[in-house]
Amino acid sequence: MSEKKVIVSNVEREHENPIAELVQVACQFDSEITLESEEKRINAKSIMGIMAFNPSKGMSVNIVADGQDEREALIAMERFLVCQA
């Protein structure tokens, strides 16, 4: 299991449809990916979960990935949330 805490950048400005795009990034990996913030803990591959989680600018998010490609998944999720190319 790997995890990393990040501060969400302005995903609404950087991505056309950030919720759907974030789920697409997560679904590229076999690992289980969870996003955690305060009392919320959701499956990053669930569009309904991401909608309820609503990652927004300045939010502190802990990304947890568990599986064979967990490192790659963690990097991809971090890049999306902090708006790195």
The residues annotated as belonging to the active site are 15
CB 77 within 8 A of CB 7: no
Alpha-carbon distance of 85 to 81, in angstroms, equals 11
Nearest to 61 by CA among 41, 43, 76, 85: 41
